[in-house]
Amino acid sequence: MGINRRSVLAALGAGTAAALTGCGSGTSEGTEDGSAGSGPAKGEISLLTPIFEGSDGKKLLEQDILGAFRKKYPDVTVKVDYTTYKQLNEKITTAIAGGLVPDVLMIGVGWVPPFAAKKVLAPLPESLATAHGYEERVLEPSRYDGKLYALPTVMATRLVAYRKDYFAAAGIKKPPANFAELRAMAKQLTKGDRMGIDPYSIDLRQCWETFLFANGGSLFSADGRKVTFTDQRGVEALQFFKDVSADGSADFARKTEGDAGAPTNIQSGKAAMMVTGSGLWKQLREQTPELIEKDLIGAFVLRGRRPAMLTGGTLVTQSARTRHPEAARALVEHLAAPDSILAAAEQRATVPGLRELRSSEYVKGNKLVDFSLQNLDSACAEGGTPAWMEIREKIKPTLEPAIVGGVSAADAIAELGALAESAIARL
């Protein structure tokens, strides 16, 4: 029988939630590394989160998820501070400067090395990595310097969605095996007002990274101290955008802003293919359900020298300077437990990174989420260096001139590489 959100939430105070340890070392005065031990979980703690947006998200977090947490830990009060991913880094940086870092933080994939290196985050016991069936690819971005600093909650994937009806009309029977086939296919599918492919309606940083990884490239060396995206593979990934634009198969000026709620180009029929994520399924349901009913939307993993599916998402971490480490640790575990993850994933139409949730009604009812979980062996994560927070902000403005202006792909990548090397040198 599939797991659904209602049955899971009903069990929050018992079942899985009862298995949470929630204990830790230190006293209410806090410890140098925020570690937890044998003391009881009590006190008022703060939670900073960029997810659970809107009234529905707030209700889910405060009434359902934290409501269950209060039943298990009645002596812990949680004060929630909501923000957005656009403001999250600035908010954390300001908190560090003011010495008032929230007790529990929800951060993005790639963010652990920068903040762990600054000793903002407390290492977590390795036993938490096996407390539930977290997908190993999802756990990788939670580590830094051999230690576990975070637990995954929900994932966001980047894949290519396509219109099955347009493929059929063009006689295309299988996804492209490499960039050359993808470019040729985009040209073939371009017709009248319809673009062959829309790679621009997601964040340019994430889109280029997806193509970089699919081209067999990487961002940084294993230790995060050397830039590796400046080789030919990084240049070719950016050049692809220039090529499809030159072909007339893509148009940067016609990108849609997904977070603005407007139908995407693939929904409106203005693009035959589109780089997107699992959240598209929720938009399809709400705005163009006929595309689901007629089974007109398919998906494939981008493939160049290898298949690659960029996988981001939200991790939950504990402050190294919390005054209530036991309570903070308990909340970290609770937010990363199956019941909380499933509820958050369903609310955001994102991907739960737990093996046991693959059979849930939610996953089986969202074909792009299901597809993402079936292809986690192709997952690649951004970040990998303590300098990431500075570098990530420079990717989009540095690469965009190569698409909308006359800057060559090689020059744009070289400039980004120089900026990244400078950031790393300051560590």
| Cβ neighbours of 247 (radius 10 Å) | 15
How far is the C-alpha of 34 from the C-alpha of 409, rounded, in Å? Answer: 45
Give residue-wise pLDDT tens across range 136-187. Answer: 888 999 999 999 999 999 999 999 999 999 999 999 999 999 999 999 999 9
Give residue-wise pLDDT tens across range 206-221. Answer: 999 999 999 999 999 9
Q: Look at residue 353 in the predicted model and tell me its pLDDT.
A: 87
Domains and CATH numbers, the chain: 5-156+312-379 (3.40.190.10), 157-309+382-425 (3.40.190.10)
**Using CA atoms in the order 389, 343, 49, 332, what is the torsion angle rounded to 10 degrees?**
-90
DSSP assignment letter at 354 = B
Residue 358 reports pLDDT greater than 90: yes
Cα–Cα distance list, 8 to 14, 82, 227, 425 (Å): 10, 24, 44, 48
Residue 220, token pair as written in the block: 């940084």
Give residue-wise pLDDT tens across range 98-133. Answer: 999 999 999 999 999 999 999 999 999 999 999 999
Give residue-wise pLDDT tens across range 37-75. Answer: 557 899 999 999 999 999 999 999 999 999 999 999 999
Residue 13 reports pLDDT greater than 50: no
Q: Does the pTM of the predicted model rise above 0.85?
A: yes
Among 124, 166, 151, which Cα is nearest to 24's? 124
